[in-house]
Chain A
Amino acid sequence: MNSIAADRAKPGAGLFRVRQILDNVEAKPVSTALTWPATLNPAASKRYYFWLVAPAVALLAFISIYPFFWMIYMGLHDVEIGSVVWNDFANFTRLPSDSRYVGGWLLLFQYSAMCLALQIGIGVFLAVALNGLRHEKILVTMLLMPMMIAPLVAGMVWYFLYNGTFGWYHWLLQSVGILGPKSILGSPDTAMLAIVIIDVWQWTPLITLITLAGLKRVPQDQLEANMVDGASPFVNFISVTLPNLYPVLLIAIMLRFMDNFRFIDSALVLTGGGPGNATKILPIYLFEVSFKFFKLGRGAAIALTLLVVTIILGMILAKVFDRLHPKRT
């Protein structure tokens, strides 16, 4: 598109142009007929486009690159409100021996893995069940309601539901007989499940939506051809549908994985990392260190490691993305 524009911007390029010049040459001296609108002049265009990008990039640099350098600087110092002292990389060197830091990573991966397994399993199944139903549209709309709820509000509602004395969810689990008399958020093993369930409740619909979008692009003729050849729907699903879903599912997994790193709102209200350190996934630990104890230097060091891992994940996502939409970048 751009090369065509550049080509056309040269007066006289292209067959049609040349003929026009010849027609006009005798009639009058080279004049208005030849001037191409200034708006299509490539050099001026470049400047114009540059100034359009500049404000956004400048603002973004101020709120992302500038803080990034501050993060490195803070990570290398003992930062308290009012005093900044160099501390010989102590913030970083003590990380490996900080059991809550290492444990935070493990819990974060455990948490993400549990969330993802449930979300992908349920989400894909729901999408297959929904695909092509008569009331698909309205059912999907009902399904996606939880995604609109503020994570904090979701956390509060589930906090209510999990309550040991008047929570309906607690009552339900006890009535079914799965849960003993213990409180859900009070015991380490169920507390982790509790925050996983909120995430599953809120974000499984996104996986369903993404999978549905993918299902619409599965080549129907291939499915039908297999059917005629006698393949069962199950075989068809495994051999045709699933391979076509891989790219969208990969995107879904990456996005949810990164969101589990990004958002801790509902977990923060529900358990705040407790009981003990049972649900202290790394972002919650980071939040505590930085904004409860205001050890901003240590916080910055932890934040830096978290950020690096997220960016690596992001690079992988971008690779997947490029393969899906080769034209975009």
Chain B
Amino acid sequence: MASRDIVQYQAPLSRAFGWFSAVFLALYLVWTLLPILVMFISSFKDLLEAFKIPPVGDWAGVTLFFDFTPTFKHYENLFVNLNFSQYMANSLIAAGGSAAISVILGSMAAYSLSRIDFHGKSDLLFWIISTRMAPVVAVMVPLYWIFRELELVGTLPGLILAYTTFNLPFAIWILKGFFDDVPYAIEEAQMVDGATRFQAFLSILPLVGPGIGAVVVLCILFAWNDYLFAAIIGSGGAKTLSVATRELVQPQNIQWGPIMAAGVVTTLPMMLLGLVIRRYLVAGLTMGAVKE
């Protein structure tokens, strides 16, 4: 760090670059946050006010956006008339159920895959990760057919199973990374002292605990945010938030107020969860390839 002084010397060109990047960053932040802001604010607007927009080129008219009297009627409408509490429960059960299955089976598998070596292990691992990478629509064609035969279409168990197709490989792959970071010597020492295998496994759990928690959250996030599986496999009996939101778009009548409110209801919990596991986000979204 002694060379700090030298590094901090700024040529005029790099100064200009600094200014340019700051302006770009600010503009980008505005651009990235505005749609979210529009969603939040529009959900509290009466329909007529939500549609108010200044004439083209009238920059001062932007203030019109904030000119409204807040109303909760869209939220009321969602939960009182449109049965959204039921859809929310469906989303929660489907996402939670698949997260539970994925993390329980996944951590068992990940633990043992991290501890043994055998012929063809890398092939097995590749198969697992490729399951996760498969395009959702492509997977859904045969899955729909099979689930129809098993009468799982339109049921929550069917939807849970469908979400497990991408959550289980994800959980195995990421958790294996966490278990790889725990030295085997810890369990070995426990077992030499007479602990059973299971007790030895329990003894390392605190070390991977936060990782497991992050995987649970990410599994819930992936399933909660899904639309395609829910639209086809869950259609009918297991309507989730995404599908119900989509159904508010009817020909000739798009119910923008409730749509925005539903968007907020769908988004807010996931944003909060995302912040909780912020530290694991990069590893989770890159399948563990990049760690912060």
Interfacial residues, chain A to chain B (CB-CB below 8 A) = 1-2, 5, 8, 37, 39-40, 45-46, 48-50, 52-53, 55-57, 59-60, 63-64, 66-68, 70-71, 74, 79, 81, 122, 125-126, 128-130, 139, 141-154, 156-158, 160-161, 165-168, 171, 174-175, 201, 204-206, 209-210, 212-214, 216, 223-224, 227-228, 232-234, 248, 251-252, 255, 258, 261-265, 268-269, 283, 286-287, 290-291, 296, 299-300, 303-304, 306-307, 310-311, 313-315, 317-318, 321, 324-325, 327-329
Contacts and interface: CB of A to CB of B under 8 A. Distances in A.
Given A2-B116, A45-B197, A64-B165, 12 more contacts: A2-B184, A39-B197, A144-B281, A150-B226, A150-B241, A153-B262, A205-B32, A251-B286, A264-B137, A287-B228, A303-B142, A313-B133
Interface in B237-292: 241-242, 245-246, 249, 256, 259-260, 262-263, 266-267, 270-271, 273-275, 278, 281-282, 285-287, 289-292
B146 A70 contact: yes
Given A37-B191, A39-B196, A153-B266, A310 B135 contact: yes
B25 A306 contact: no
B121 to A, nearest CB: 7
A150 to B, nearest CB: 4
Nearest to A36: B192
A123 to B, nearest CB: 10
B125 interface: yes
B37 to A, nearest CB: 10
Contacts of B42: 160
Given A144-B274, A160-B42, A224-B6, A1 B225 contact: no
Interface string B114-126: 0111000110111
A232 B15 CA distance: 12
B228 A148 contact: no
A165 B51 contact: yes
A291 B263 CA distance: 25
Contacts of B131: 60, 64
Interface of B: 3, 6-7, 11, 13-14, 17, 21-22, 24-25, 28-29, 31-36, 38-39, 42, 50-54, 56-59, 65, 101, 105-106, 108-109, 111-113, 115-117, 121-122, 124-126, 128-131, 133-146, 148, 161-162, 164-165, 168-169, 172, 176-177, 180, 183-184, 188, 191-192, 194-197, 200, 221, 224-228, 232, 241-242, 245-246, 249, 256, 259-260, 262-263, 266-267, 270-271, 273-275, 278, 281-282, 285-287, 289-292
Nearest to B52: A166
B229 to A, nearest CB: 10
10 contacts: A55-B105, A59-B105, A67-B146, A150-B226, A251-B290, A255-B289, A265-B227, A310-B133, A311-B130, A314-B129
Given A39-B200, A59-B105, A149-B270, A201 B32 contact: yes
A52 B110 CA distance: 9
A63 B197 contact: no
B247 to A, nearest CB: 11
A143 B29 contact: yes
Contact of A2 (B65, B117, B263, B271): B117
B109 A52 contact: yes
A145 B142 contact: no
A290 B141 contact: yes
Contacts, number: 320
Contact of B141 (A1, A66, A300, A311): A300
Contact of A122 (B28, B162, B191, B228): B28
B191 A40 contact: yes
Contact of B14 (A129, A228, A232, A328): A232
Q: Which of B51, B144, B177, B180 has the largest count of A CB atoms less than 10 A from its CB?
A: B144
A168 B53 contact: yes
A299 B141 contact: yes
A219 to B, nearest CB: 13
Contacts of A265: 226-228, 242
A205 B35 CA distance: 15
Contact of A269 (B11, B35, B191, B246): B246
